């Protein structure tokens, strides 16, 4: 049965979830406080780059998917999903002010509704947030505790592959307290073939954090092994290929390189560290994961300095600015510390990325942005490859335009022979 869904937040998680639920035949209304985002979504223009998102949005915008700045549309829906940001604060804890504001607004609208309504939290939040913040805030604002149900349903969407991940998840986690809420959430995913696991609110919230922390740990572990392999002249990719064939380990997230970035792993691990310390625990492993990740991109510059006499006034081409391929997201991108370190050494930077240049220009303005990889490479004293964009794989003659062929990969992507890797 098609559902009427309101989604709070037109950011990455909210917009991707909205188009996917619309594609499944549901009627979806995005509630977003940024008027520009509302206008672009209604015009079928995605405000972010995500593979396949534009086509999905064009198919459903103005039909069974619309966007608005008003919460009043909640009254016309049966389900409200909260997909607002929970950024980290200076101490690493999650900033829940957007979540609390959304809960108050939802509650105010539900004052006038007497039919049943399910609120699903999809934002990543510390364990206990649904029970201790979401539920009491909505109930106190709505003056209604009889017709409102709650659930926590975390998302596991990889940027660049989010739509495919939505329809082909490894599992669907449903944190709830009663059969009715579980039944409604299950109905949303009725035609998706994946294990569906019911847990408590806190268990579901912790599953999200623990999953991201473990994946980040695999990346930092691989980078640590890669750094050792580099010293010993060993190909870390062959090593990790052999390691990953062990079914207890699996080959995923074992690619050594310049570390992880994005909107999830860094902030979620910081939050988990803060949560542990608040409870009197010292999460040494998680701290090490973050420490390795912070230093890894600087090793790329250290290697470059070993290959070139000085970086002062040298033209360094950077290929890739997004934190990963198939997205324009530069949040915690490993390109940022590389740029800052190169500038510290007086280098002249020429950067290219297929889609992330406008995003990076907002925070780094004093470098040269190029329209093609060839333009960035022309006359360069060295090149650093920072993102696994597929188009970089086939660069060949473009490297012939360089002043000197010092080519170092932070992500293993090039087919070009005359290059080396940060860990291999």
Residue ending a domain, choose from 199, 216, 248: 199
- Together in a domain, 57 and 166: yes
Residue ending a domain, choose from 199, 218, 244: 199
Decide if 39 is inside a domain: yes
Say whether 56 is catalytic: no
- Phi, psi of 30, rounded to the nearest 5 degrees: -90, 130
What is the CB neighbour count within 10 angstroms for residue 376?
Answer: 26
pLDDT of the residue at 88: 96
Decide if 224 is inside a domain: no
pLDDT of the residue at 288: 98
Full strand arrangement of the beta sheet holding 65-68: 65-68, 27-31, 4-8, 79-82, 117-121, 148-152, 172-176, 196-199
pLDDT of the residue at 146: 84
1, pLDDT greater than 80: no
Calculate the dihedral angle through the C-alpha atoms of 17, 212, 222, 393, rounding to the nearest 10 degrees.
10
- Together in a domain, 287 and 399: yes
Global pTM reads: 0.95
Decide if 212 is inside a domain: no
Rounded percentage of the chain residues whose pLDDT exceeds 90: 97
- Together in a domain, 415 and 369: yes
- Together in a domain, 100 and 240: no
Decide if 206 is inside a domain: no
The number of folded domains in the chain is: 2
Residue 307 sits in which domain range? 236-421
> How far, in Å, CA of 90 to CA of 270, rounded?
10
Decide if 215 is inside a domain: no
- Together in a domain, 67 and 161: yes
- Together in a domain, 160 and 255: no
Query: Residue for token digits 């809420």?
Result: 181
- Together in a domain, 377 and 310: yes
- Together in a domain, 174 and 269: no
> How far, in Å, CA of 23 to CA of 16, rounded?
11
Q: Which residues have C-beta within 8 Å of that of residue 246, sequence separation ≥ 6?
A: none
Distances (CA, A) of 104 to 93, 99, 303, 319, 323: 21, 9, 52, 44, 34
Beta bridge pairs of residue 150: 119
Decide if 405 is inside a domain: yes
pLDDT of the residue at 396: 97
- Together in a domain, 21 and 96: yes
pLDDT of the residue at 309: 85
Rounded percentage of the chain residues whose pLDDT exceeds 70: 100
pLDDT of the residue at 163: 97
353, pLDDT greater than 80: yes
Q: For all residues of the chain together, what is the average pLDDT?
A: 97
DSSP conformational letter for 75: G
In this structure, are residues 98 and 120 in contact, taking their beta carbons and an 8 Å threshold? no
pLDDT of the residue at 72: 95
Query: Residue for token digits 């008003």?
Result: 70
pLDDT of the residue at 112: 84
Catalytic residue among 56, 103, 264, 370: 264
Residue ending a domain, choose from 173, 199, 225: 199
- Together in a domain, 291 and 375: yes
Give DSSP secondary structure letters for 167-236: HS-S-EEEEESSHHHHHHHHHHTTT--S-EEEE-HHHHHHHHHHHHHHHHHHHHHHHHHHHHHHHHT--H
145, pLDDT greater than 80: no
268, pLDDT greater than 90: yes
Domain of 316: which CATH number?
Answer: 3.40.50.720
- Together in a domain, 188 and 257: no
Calculate the dihedral angle through the C-alpha atoms of 359, 92, 15, 361, rounding to the nearest 10 degrees.
0
Structure tokens at 378: 């022309």
pLDDT of the residue at 231: 96
pLDDT of the residue at 114: 86
Tens digits of residue pLDDT in 44-76? 999 999 999 999 999 999 999 999 999 999 999
Decide if 216 is inside a domain: no
> How far, in Å, CA of 86 to CA of 14, rounded?
13
Compute the average pLDDT of residues 391-402: 97
Specify the 3-state DSSP secondary structure of 402: coil
- Together in a domain, 335 and 278: yes
Tens digits of residue pLDDT in 202-219? 999 999 999 999 999 999
Specify the 3-state DSSP secondary structure of 65: strand
| Residue 271: half-sphere exposure toward Cβ, Cα within 13 Å | 26
pLDDT of the residue at 144: 76
Compute the average pLDDT of residues 350-358: 98
Decide if 214 is inside a domain: no
> How far, in Å, CA of 32 to CA of 61, rounded?
15
Tens digits of residue pLDDT in 283-315? 999 999 999 999 999 999 999 999 998 999 999
């Amino acid at each position: 049965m098609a559902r009427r869904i309101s989604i709070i937040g037109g950011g990455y998680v909210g917009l991707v979830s909205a188009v996917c639920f619309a594609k499944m035949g549901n009627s979806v209304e995005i509630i977003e406080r940024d008027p520009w985002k509302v206008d672009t979504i209604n015009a079928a223009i995605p405000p972010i780059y995500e593979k396949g998102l534009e086509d999905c949005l064009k198919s459903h915008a103005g039909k069974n998917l619309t966007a608005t700045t008003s919460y009043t549309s909640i009254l016309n829906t049966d389900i409200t999903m909260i997909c607002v940001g929970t950024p980290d604060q200076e101490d690493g804890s999650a900033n829940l002010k957007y979540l609390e504001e959304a809960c108050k607004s939802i509650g105010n609208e539900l004052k006038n509704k007497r039919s049943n309504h399910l609120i699903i939290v999809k934002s990543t939040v510390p364990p206990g947030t649904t029970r201790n913040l979401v539920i009491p805030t909505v109930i106190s604002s709505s003056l209604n505790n009889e017709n409102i149900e709650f659930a926590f349903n975390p998302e596991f969407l990889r940027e660049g592959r989010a739509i495919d991940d939505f329809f082909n998840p490894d599992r669907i986690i449903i944190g709830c307290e009663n059969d009715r809420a579980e039944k409604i959430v299950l109905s949303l995913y009725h035609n998706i073939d994946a294990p569906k696991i019911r847990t408590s609110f806190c268990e579901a919230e912790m599953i999200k954090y623990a999953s991201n922390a473990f994946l980040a740990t695999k990346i930092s572990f691989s980078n640590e092994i890669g750094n050792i392999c580099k010293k010993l002249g060993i190909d870390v990719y062959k090593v990790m290929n052999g390691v990953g064939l062990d079914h207890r380990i699996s080959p995923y997230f074992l690619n050594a390189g310049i570390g992880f970035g994005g909107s999830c792993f860094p902030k979620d691990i910081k939050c988990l560290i803060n949560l542990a310390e608040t409870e009197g625990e010292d999460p040494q492993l998680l701290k090490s994961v973050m420490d390795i990740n912070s230093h890894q991109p600087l090793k790329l510059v250290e290697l470059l300095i070993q290959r070139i006499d000085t970086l002062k006034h040298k033209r360094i081409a950077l290929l890739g600015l997004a934190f990963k391929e198939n997205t324009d997201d530069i949040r915690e991108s490993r390109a940022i510390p590389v740029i800052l370190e190169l500038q510290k050494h007086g280098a002249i930077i020429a950067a290219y990325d297929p889609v992330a240049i406008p995003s990076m220009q907002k925070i780094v303005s004093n470098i040269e942005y190029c329209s093609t990889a060839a333009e960035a490479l022309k006359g360069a004293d060295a090149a650093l490859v920072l993102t696994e964009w597929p188009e970089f794989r086939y660069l060949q003659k473009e490297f012939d335009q360089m002043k000197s062929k010092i080519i170092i990969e932070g992500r293993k992507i090039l087919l070009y022979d005359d290059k080396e890797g940060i860990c291999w």
